[in-house]
Amino acid sequence: MFIKNYMTDKSELTVVRPTDSVQSVLQRMEGHLSVPCADDDNKFVGIVSKRTIFEAFEESFDSGITYESFLTQAIKPAVDTTIPALSVSNYFEHTIDVIIRYPFVPVVDGNQFLGIVKRGDINRALEIAFATNVESQRLLLGMAEIEGALHQLFRVTHRLGINVITAIPFDAGPNMLNRRLILRIEPTQNLHTLIADLEKAGFYVVDSGN
């Protein structure tokens, strides 16, 4: 899936400009901890947060600038320009590295700011990917990292007429030889048969809870 499928369009956001005054930005930020910043040409500049504003004020105060004077200055010094922007054509999983360090993921097309992906959007996408929002039965499998392992898995489920909702492989850890796979299936009366057939096919059933 692509970022654009989970993006909140800029028209629905509070977007500030680097030339806006600190006071006007603070007023527009009411109810928000952070907002995106784009210039007059709609080029993404960075992120403004209450933390970056406070840090900018500290620097200004050390230079002898009063709080009242600081409020009239442009917000530009309080813009964090280190946040990376992703392309609208990037895959959704590229958002993970950004969202663990920043409150949202800015999305651009070329140099044009399009919108953001919020943490809530990412949570919803992960719920879909892991099928936690649908009724299902869950198996955690151990599997050898060999060619055809997934094909063998789906042969077993197909033979039993079991509908696979999602199958997500991941590393078991640096000291483990096997891979792990979260398998979610539609509720079935053939669960015990599925487990037995998977074990016969070389899979290790680590957990069969829901």
For residue 145, pLDDT over 90 is answered with: no
What is the topology classification, in CATH, of domain 3-126?
A: CBS-domain (3.10.580)
Residue type present at position 18? P
pLDDT above 90 covers what percent of the chain?
69
Q: Is 56 left (phi over 0), alpha (psi -120 to 50) or beta?
A: alpha
The model's confidence at residue 61, banded by pLDDT at 50, 70 and 90, is: confident
Structural contact between residues 130 and 166, judged by C-beta atoms closer than 8 angstroms: yes
Which tens digits make up the pLDDT trace of 32-46? Answer: 999 999 999 999 999
> How big is the chain by its Cα radius of gyration, in Å?
24
The superfamily in CATH containing domain 131-207 is ACT domain (3.30.70.260)
Indicate the domain borders of the chain: 3-126, 131-207
Which tens digits make up the pLDDT trace of 84-138? Answer: 999 998 988 899 999 999 999 999 998 899 999 999 888 888 888 788 888 999 9
Identify the sign of the CA torsion 52, 57, 63, 69. positive
Which tokens in the block code for residue 89?
Answer: 């054509």
Task: Give residues with Cβ within 8 angstroms of 112, minimum separation 6.
Answer: 42, 43
User: Would you give the DSSP letter of residue 171?
Assistant: E
Structural contact between residues 81 and 104, judged by C-beta atoms closer than 8 angstroms: no
